[in-house]
Amino acid sequence: MARRFFSTSLSLSRSLTRHTKFPNPIPFPNLIKPIQSFHLTPPFFSSVSQIGDALSPTIQPPDEDNRSELLRSLEVLLGSSFRSDRLVYNQSPLVIVLSGPPGVGNDAVIKRLREVREGLHFAVTATTRPMRPGEVDGKDCYFISKEEFSAMMKRNELLEFSFMYGHYKGIPKTQIREFMEKGYDIVLRVEISRAKILRKILRNSAVFVFLMAESEAKLGERSIDRKTGTEESLLVRLPWVRENVKNFDYVVVNTDGKLESAVKLVESIIDAEKAKVRQRRTVV
C-alpha cells in the first residue's frame, strides 16, 4: 500500500513538473543577490588582538582628587608608603677574575678595557722579582723584597699568593677593600693556576672569565709564534687548558682582528652580573 502511494505521488509530481509552465523559474530575480565572501577579520583590523582592543572600553584618566585617593588605596594594599628610591637593591661591587693561556691576548683585552670602561680597578700584584725596563712600581707591580712578602703572608694581607719561576707573587687585600668601598668593580688579571686557587678562596662570590683563541688549532699556532715556551711545555699546554676551563663561569673568544668584540663581551658579562636580582657579594 505504501509503495503504491509513493509511486502514484512520484508520477503526479513528474506530470505536474512536465506540463506546468512558469513564466520565470525564479519568480523575483531582482530580490536575490549572489552571496558575497567576507573576511572573518574586518579590513580595518590587522589582528584579533586589535579587535579586542577596539571592543574594550576606553578608561578615562581620573581627576586629581580621585587620583590621590587611588594612590592612597594602593599604599594601603602594599602596607606601606611608596618608596622614592629604585625598586632594585643597590648593586654590589664585583670581583672579576680574568685569565687565559698565553697567546690569547690577555694584556690587549685588559689594556682596552682600561680605556673604555669606567668604574674598574685593576688590581696590582706584589712580587719579589726584579723590575724590568720600562715598568713602574705601584702601576705594573709592587716590587718588594722576599722579607716584605713573607711579612705580608704572616699578617694575612694577601688574597692569594704563589711561587713561580723562583719568585713570589700575590694580590694585596688592602687595595681591593679600598676600591670596593668606593664602589669600584675589581679586575684580577692572573695566570690560570692562580685563578684555580682564587676559585677555591672566593668560590662563587666572584665572576671568573676565561679568555680563549677561536680554536685549539689557532691557540697552538699563536703559542708557537710567541716562541716563549719549550716544545715540551707547548705539548702540555692544550690538555691543561681543557682541564682548567671548567673552573670558569664564562668563556670569551678573542678572535684575531676582533679585539673590540671580545672587550664588549667582557663588558656585557659585567653588566649582566650587575643586573642580577641575587648578586654576588665578595668579602675580602
185-222 per-position pLDDT tens digit: 999 999 999 999 999 999 999 999 999 999 888 887 88
- The reported pLDDT for the residue numbered 229 is 60
Q: Please check the confidence at residue 164 and state whether its pLDDT lies above 60.
A: yes
Residue 284 lies in a domain: no
Please state, for a pLDDT cut of 70, what percent of the chain lies above it: 71
Starting at the edge strand found earlier in the chain, the sheet holding 95-99 runs: 120-122, 185-189, 95-99, 207-212, 250-253
Residue 10 lies in a domain: no
- The reported pLDDT for the residue numbered 83 is 77
The 10 Å CB-count burial string (b at 16+, else e) for 50-64 is: eeeeeeeeeeeeeee
Are 225 and 266 in contact, with CB atoms under 8 Å apart? no
Are 104 and 212 in contact, with CB atoms under 8 Å apart? yes
Quickly state the pLDDT bin for 177 (edges 50, 70, 90): very high
pTM for the whole structure? 0.70
- More confidently predicted of 62 and 39: 62
Residue 56 lies in a domain: no
- The reported pLDDT for the residue numbered 6 is 46
Quickly state the pLDDT bin for 227 (edges 50, 70, 90): low
Domain of residue 130 covers 95-274
Cα–Cα distance between 194 and 99 in angstroms, integer?
9
Cα–Cα distance between 279 and 269 in angstroms, integer?
13
Residue 36 lies in a domain: no
DSSP structural state of residue 33: -
Residue 137 lies in a domain: yes
Which of the residues are catalytic? 132, 226, 237
Residue 133 lies in a domain: yes
Please count the structural domains in the chain.
1
- The reported pLDDT for the residue numbered 16 is 45
Q: Please check the confidence at residue 232 and state whether its pLDDT lies above 70.
A: no
Question: Which domain CATH number covers 248?
Answer: 3.40.50.300
- More confidently predicted of 34 and 225: 225
- The reported pLDDT for the residue numbered 236 is 63
- The reported pLDDT for the residue numbered 55 is 57
Average pLDDT in the 276-283 region?
90
Average pLDDT in the 85-113 region?
87
Residue 12 lies in a domain: no
Cα–Cα distance between 100 and 237 in angstroms, integer?
11
Quickly state the pLDDT bin for 155 (edges 50, 70, 90): very high
Residue 7 lies in a domain: no
Please state, for a pLDDT cut of 90, what percent of the chain lies above it: 53
Provide the 3-class DSSP secondary structure of residue 56: coil
Instruction: Give the angle subtended at the CA of 47 by the CAs of 46 and 51, to the nearest 5°.
Output: 100
